[in-house]
Chains A and B, each alone.
Chain A
Amino acid sequence: MQTKLLFTLPIAAVGAAAALHATAYLHGEAKNHLPRFWAFFLATLASMLAVVYAPGKISFLLAWEAMGLSSAGLVAFENTEKTVRRATWIYLLACHAGACALMLAGVFLNSPDAFLAAFFCAIVGFGLKIGFPPFHVWLPEAHPAAPAPASAVMSGAMIPLGFYGLLNFFWPVSTVVPYNTTAGLTLIALGVAGAIGGILFALPQVNLKKLLAFSSVENMGVIAMGLGLALVANSRDGGSLFSEIYVLSFTGALVHVMNHALLKGALFLGAGSILRQTGTLDQDRLGGLMKRMPFTGTLFTLNALGLAGLPPLNGFLGELLIYTAGFLAVRSGSPLLVAAGFTVLAALAFTGGLAAAAYCKAIGATFLGEPRSKAAADAIETPKRMWIAQLALFLGSVAMIPGTIFIVHKFANGIGEATLLTAATIGGALVLMTAALVGLRRFLCPRGAVKPQCPTWDCGYHEPTARMAYTATAFTQPLADLFAFALRPRKHLIPFKGHPAAPTDAALVTETDDRALAGFWRPLFTFFARAFQRAHLLQSGSLHLYILLILITVVVLLVAAFAS
């Protein structure tokens, strides 16, 4: 019941905020498109609720399919774009493949000794929604394609429903302890791959929504790590320490679900506001929006801070729970758990560092510095309700701080609760301290804090332009180069024109595609499509061949009949 409530909250919160945002977001759309959006939007919300409250397996499956279909309608909203068409296709395939895997999982679940097979099917089925690598391919395609309120709902509330499914159908774990180790390690492995892979690919993206989509992969990875650690701890029987690890990491994962829902929802709405006001999501063409859209910018910054898991916001508390569980695991003495603990600690830390880098880049390139295009320079603040929607979600995440403490108080007293309380207090202290220092500074130089006086120092160069500022691509280039073996960025140089002494228009363009799509799924699909196309020769139109086929088949059948 509590998990039901926990997964209902994001749907309600993000759904309401996204709806509010959408009323303004869709303002410019043609009138006759609006009913389509709202129909699919409401259907998506309704089917998500149906998923949560489905009474049985079949009704769950039906609601699950309905959720996929109705959200596909949202992805396909801008139906004339070619990229949207591709995204819709990929998304639909992901949904359908997921449903197929779930059907199989359900079948496996019926036979008592096939629990692990059922679990792996469910991992594939739910993983296609959650976005475990390499099943995450639809996320970076569908999110940029969908209207922002839809992406917010899909990323914030819909994706984690995969975890809801896993919890609902595979979490009476105590009954199947022998499998918990394998299941837990699988989740940890997927979580580590998802978290690090997701954030690594988020880093070099120039499309803001693509960056956010990859970051969703990362966050789902973090949640999976928490759940996996909980499972592994659960499989080591006995001892209050193990149950403490279990409770802490489990709670941490669930708290992270909430945080991700609220904050990522808000970030997608922010991205939507930017798209609406500037017409682009290309970070290399944005910049300087903090001055032009102060509310959107401030909220985006705060939400990003929360999602990067930094104190004092609630994003940190969820990760802290998992960290604490990781520390406990490390000292538990059970070799497997120690190894799992170290892995989770290192991976979570690395992810945290990279996430901070990615969000710094997103904020810096989008909101700070000088605008890099006319569209960005001409942008103005959105209508009030658009940023109020984001503000509401942000406040929700702040309100989650006492909520988190309450949850932990209820389930995990002892280390967890004390740690969490300290962290929350310290968070408050940080805010107060900052306020004090800002006050001090204002006191020391009242004038400077109010009015800017001079251009940016640029080494004595007199006319700093936006073209000279660090771009989003440049900012992440060192990290992207460092991980080039995994990211495989495509770089192409646009050679300069004109005289070598006064070159113009030269540019270095770097694009980082999703490796799972470009390196695995696309070749796989192409391979099969080619092979199938070759097989089309059988239907070449030759009547002789057709009849020969019939003849041969009859002969083979006769042989089979005589043989059997």
Chain B
Amino acid sequence: MTSTAEILLALFLLTNIVLAGTGRLRQAIRLVAVQGWMVGLLPILLWNWTDAGAPGFRVWAVAFVNGAVKGVALPILLRYAADRAKANFELEPLVGFRLSQVIAFAIASASFAIGKALHIHETVASELAIPVAFTTMGTGLFLICARRKAITQVLGFLAFENGIAVFGSGILLEYGLVVELGILLDVFVLVFVLGIAIYQINRTFSSIDTDKLNALGDVHLMHRHQSN
């Protein structure tokens, strides 16, 4: 059943690979915003229109809030934090962009392998949703590991969350409206808090480079304590 949803999922996969190769902060934020829009669209596109009729209020509401929070509010928040922190526009990778892209591709392949291994039941809206979700989560986590700046890590985290959301839509999980909005709210507040944290870190360290945030290991502390 090739549908618009599957096209969307394919595009989603593509955003991940592009995200892995992006060197610009603004572009990365924009990509994550696009992902957010797609996450918002997905429940509606995956909806079985022919059998189930028009989706109810719940689906619309979740789709709307998802798109609004992940596609609009959070990117704006991030861009604001980046501006306030006077972050450099470069992403400063620990792993090169080309290699990152290769790794993202590898993650995608592995995800499809896992998707195959899981017995996907026919109730799942789209077989593609699960591998794409895995890929997105994997890429997000990889970006957290592979990029130096604190703000990029938040970005990676957002991608990771998007992956989870894709999965949720893909397997048509129904939590109930309150829960789903609660989850969204949590993510929103989390990113908000992260943003504040970045702001404060920037103020205290005059940089949001997480390399500066490596002072609290056992090894460093030992040297510090011994020199006391």
Contact = CB atoms under 8 A, between A and B. Distances in A.
Physical contact A–B (CB less than 8 Å): yes
B164 to A, nearest CB: 14
Nearest to A548: B145
A539 B145 contact: no
Contacts of A537: 219
Given A536-B222, A562-B117, A547 B145 contact: yes
B190 interface: no
B116 to A, nearest CB: 11
A55 interface: no
A540 B223 CA distance: 12
A547 B95 CA distance: 15
Most buried by B among A537, A542, A562: A542
A537 B153 CA distance: 23
Contacts of A547: 141, 144-145
A558 B210 contact: no
B193 interface: no
Contacts of B222: 536
Interface string A534-564: 0011011111100110110000001000100
Contacts of A542: 214, 217
B55 to A, nearest CB: 33
A536 B215 CA distance: 14
B37 interface: no
Given A536-B222, A562-B117, A541 B142 contact: no
Given A551-B141, A562-B117, A543 B219 contact: no
A507 B215 CA distance: 51
B219 A551 contact: no
Contact of A536 (B141, B144, B210, B219): B219
Contacts of B94: 544
B84 interface: no
A541 B145 contact: no
A543 B117 contact: no
Given A558-B114, A562-B117, A541 B144 contact: no
Contacts of A548: 145
B220 A541 contact: yes
B189 interface: no
Contact of A539 (B114, B213, B217): B217
B218 interface: yes
Contacts of B214: 540-543
B52 interface: no
Nearest to A551: B141
B142 A551 contact: yes
Nearest to B216: A541
B154 to A, nearest CB: 12
A543 B220 contact: no
Nearest to A552: B145
A562 B110 CA distance: 13
Interface in B176-228: 210, 213-220, 222
A558 B110 CA distance: 11
A544 B219 CA distance: 16
A541 B217 contact: yes
Contacts of A562: 114, 117
A562 B210 CA distance: 35
A558 B118 CA distance: 11
Contacts of A541: 213-217, 219-220
Interface string A399-427: 00000000000000000000000000000
A542 B218 CA distance: 11
Most buried by B among A536, A543, A550, A562: A543
Contacts of B217: 536, 539-542
Contacts of A540: 214, 217-220
B28 to A, nearest CB: 17
Nearest to B118: A562
Nearest to A534: B219
B63 to A, nearest CB: 29
A540 B215 CA distance: 8
Contacts of A550: 141
Contacts of B216: 541
A189 B213 CA distance: 58
Nearest to A549: B145
Nearest to B220: A541
A562 B117 CA distance: 8
B46 to A, nearest CB: 25
Most buried by B among A537, A542, A544: A544
Nearest to B110: A555
A548 B95 CA distance: 13
A544 B212 CA distance: 12
Interface string A429-464: 000000000000000000000000000000000000
Given A543-B153, A543-B214, A547-B145, 6 more contacts: A536-B222, A540-B218, A541-B220, A543-B210, A558-B114, A562-B114
Interface of B: 94, 114, 117, 141-142, 144-146, 153, 210, 213-220, 222
12 contacts: A536-B217, A536-B219, A537-B219, A540-B217, A541-B214, A541-B216, A541-B219, A542-B214, A543-B213, A544-B146, A548-B145, A551-B145
